[in-house]
Structure 1
Amino acid sequence: MPAASPSPWRHLPNAISVLRVLLVGPIGCLLWQRNWSYALILVAVAGVSDGLDGFLARHYGWQSRLGGMLDAIADKLLLVACFVILAWRGEAPAWLAAIVCGRDLWIAAGAVLWRVLVGRIQPQPSLLSKACTLLQILYLLCVLLALIGWPVPAAGGLAWAVAALCIASGLDYTIRWSRRGWRARRTR
């Protein structure tokens, strides 16, 4: 019996991640122009697509190295752009944007260091990192809802939760990948 051919749908999670990357520009423009309603819609679409691509990849076994990298890049570009623009516009705390950006720069620097010292990297987001991304998206949605006149009472506390989770996630990445790197270098 011949082997089943791979599903043509196996690239769908990657296409969804690319869509999320392509949404960063329009979302950034909408935020800059203070067009909160349309920004809210696109951020919600990006948030749902983040969950959808991950679900499809895991559920159907369509995971790939490229997909992991595209997903991470899409998340970082989207979240950093949103937090920076909202902070610049005075709609989100600058200290929170600094923590979000600092964490992502720290993780990116660690990935570059891994590549230089150890070799190819296979993105492996932790549960803590996924929770951090989800909480950041929820925070952005709350801010945008407030800006269109639907304030969410928990948004202030959510900012502190985002900050705490960003710091915890950054530390988690540092510890886990440092240990892996140390083991990988010792086995050479």
Structure 2
Amino acid sequence: MEEPRDLESKTPPEATARDLPVRVSSAVWTVPNVISMVRIGLIGVFGWLLVAGYDLWAVGALVAAGVSDFLDGFLARRWQQVTVLGRLLDPAADRLLTIVVVIALALRGAVPWWLVAILLARDAMVATVVLVGRTHHVSTPQVTFTGKAATAALYVFLPLAFLAHDRWDGVHVAAIIGACAAAGLYWISGIAYVRDVSQRSHSGTIGASARRGQEHLG
């Protein structure tokens, strides 16, 4: 007869590090957190360079911010340095940089204002849902692969649209089309965040109602 297996004590051989539970610490000064802080600082650098007319340097700052966006998350998982602060800094830096970049580029005429409206409406939707979720004691949803892919695509197509503006019409049109596709992914990830918060808020409400019911029965 086959011996029963201890499912809790054994890890399947095909399991990888991504399958294991993520340990979240309360540390502040980790390498991924510092990278996220630097990305926030690059927002001011980008804005100053753009206003001062150093367009190529501004694009360089934006590219550096895009690289840091990938690097902080990768290192946090690779070095097991996922923190509570990091889970707040990373999406906050992404949203703030996206807002500043699209508004700045629209003011320079590199991207249309309707694209700015689409991106800002998505961020406003997610921010509203997060605030509502907090009233139900629901934590902020974690960044998804789709959200990261959308942000990375925006980091590629928005600077390209800026560089091609008034220089290469065909490249500029292609960059705007790519940015629109990225905006579509951006909205898909945003809707996923809304569903996540809504489901967890609903589950929390049901759980609280059940506990109150048990208290009355007791």
Smaller-chain TM-score range? 0.7 to 0.9
Does 1:98 pair with 2:98?
no
- TM-score, L = length of structure 1: 0.86
CA positional deviation for 1:84: 0.8
Q: Which residue type is aligned with residue 156 of structure 2?
A: L
Larger Rg: 2
Partner of 1:3: none
- TM-score, L = length of structure 2: 0.75
Does 1:20 pair with 2:39?
yes
Does 1:129 pair with 2:162?
no
After alignment, is 83-92 or 143-152 more displaced?
Answer: 143-152
CA positional deviation for 1:30: 2.2
**Aligned residues: CA RMSD:** 2.3
Partner of 1:108: 127
The whole-number CA distance in structure 1 between the counterparts of 2:183 and 2:40 is 24
Does 1:186 pair with 2:203?
no
SS at match of 2:130: helix
Q: Which residue type is aligned with residue 108 of structure 2?
A: R
Work out which structure has the larger RCO, using CA pairs closer than 8 Å and 6 or more positions apart in sequence: 1
Please list, as runs of the form range in 1=range in 2, the aligned pairs for 1:45-60 lying within 5 A after superposition: 45-60=64-79
Please list, as runs of the form range in 1=range in 2, the aligned pairs for 1:33-72 lying within 5 A after superposition: 33-72=52-91
Partner of 2:107: 88
Kept in 1: contact 2:157–2:175 (CA 8 A):
yes
Structure 2: runs of 5+ lacking an equivalent: 1-24, 209-218
CA positional deviation for 1:100: 1.1
Kept in 1: contact 2:165–2:172 (CA 8 A):
no
**Deviating 4+ runs (over 6 angstroms):** none
Q: Which residue type is aligned with residue 145 of structure 2?
A: L
Kept in 2: contact 1:13–1:62 (CA 8 A):
yes
The whole-number CA distance in structure 2 between the counterparts of 1:61 and 1:152 is 40
The whole-number CA distance in structure 1 between the counterparts of 2:130 and 2:80 is 25
Do the aligned partners of residues 34 and 147 (structure 1) sit closer, same or farther apart at CA in structure 2, a change above 3 Å counting?
A: farther
Partner of 1:146: 164
Q: Quick one: percent identity of the two aligned structures?
A: 35
Kept in 1: contact 2:133–2:201 (CA 8 A):
yes
After alignment, is 20-29 or 161-170 more displaced?
Answer: 161-170
Kept in 2: contact 1:14–1:53 (CA 8 A):
yes
Deviations 1:29-63 (A, max 9, x none): 22234432011100010000111111100111100
The whole-number CA distance in structure 2 between the counterparts of 1:116 and 1:73 is 19
